[in-house]
């Protein structure tokens, strides 16, 4: 892939992600192309249809989340803190587009997706397990379910790390002794 083509592709993905966040999921392909400064034709050369574009945005977002999650894991932070950091990152990324990221059932098109979701979940589960060992995260909920829970709380459009909802979820997950 030529350098300029790759640059166009990235440009389209990030522009589209921004537009979707700002203006809802009904933005037209024409408008996305215009905002990215390319013609529709170019957009369609990179993404055969609208679905493919949404998938690409999701893959991109998950990839960034995974990179971040791994970076966090390599640092010396507690499991609980790691959980918080990753969750904050979630609220900055357009994860809500692909309806249920954790389920992964929504977008069967791209082969990477399940793998990515798996990898992100693994990262989260590892943090959760650590937090449970550290005694800061409730032990009566399986780590797997904790992740599902956090996903629902955080993968809504407009979710924020300091939302009352997110705050209370974290409170609800806090081990009572902590």
Binding residues for its own copies, rule: CB under 8 A, are: 141, 145, 148-149, 152-153, 156, 163-165, 168-173, 176
User: Which residue, 29 or 141, has its beta carbon nearer to DNA?
Assistant: 29
Q: How far is the CB of 13 from DNA (least distance, A)?
A: 13
Q: What DSSP letter does each residue of the chain carry, written as one string?
A: --HHHHHHHHHHHHHHHHHHHHH-TT--HHHHHHHHTS-HHHHHHH-SSHHHHHHHHHHHHHHHHHHHHHHHHHS---HHHHHHHHHHHHHHS--SSSS-TTT--S--S-THHHHHHHHHHHHHHHHHHHHHHHT-B-SSS-HHHHHHHHHHHHSSTT--TT-HHHHHHHHHHB-TT-
Residues that bind DNA (CB under 7 A): 1-5, 8, 26, 28-30, 37-42, 44-46, 48-51
Q: How far is the CB of 158 from DNA (least distance, A)?
A: 22
Q: How far is the CB of 24 from its own copies (least distance, A)?
A: 10
């Amino acid at each position: 892939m030529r350098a300029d083509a790759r640059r166009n592709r990235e440009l389209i993905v990030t522009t589209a992600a921004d537009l979707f966040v700002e203006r809802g999921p009904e933005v037209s392909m024409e408008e996305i192309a215009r905002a990215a400064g390319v013609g529709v034709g170019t957009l369609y050369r990179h993404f055969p249809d609208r679905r493919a574009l949404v998938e690409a945005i999701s893959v991109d977002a998950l990839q960034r989340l995974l990179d971040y999650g791994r970076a966090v894991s390599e640092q010396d932070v507690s499991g609980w803190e790691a959980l918080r950091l990753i969750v904050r990152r979630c609220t900055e990324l357009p994860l809500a587009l692909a309806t249920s990221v954790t389920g992964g059932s929504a977008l069967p098109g791209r082969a990477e997706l399940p793998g990515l979701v798996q990898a992100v979940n693994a990262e989260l589960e590892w943090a959760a397990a650590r937090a449970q060992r550290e005694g800061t995260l409730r032990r009566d909920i399986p780590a797997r379910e904790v992740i599902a829970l956090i996903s629902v709380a955080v993968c809504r459009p407009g979710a924020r790390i300091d939302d009352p909802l997110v705050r209370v979820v974290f409170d609800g997950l806090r081990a009572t002794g902590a």
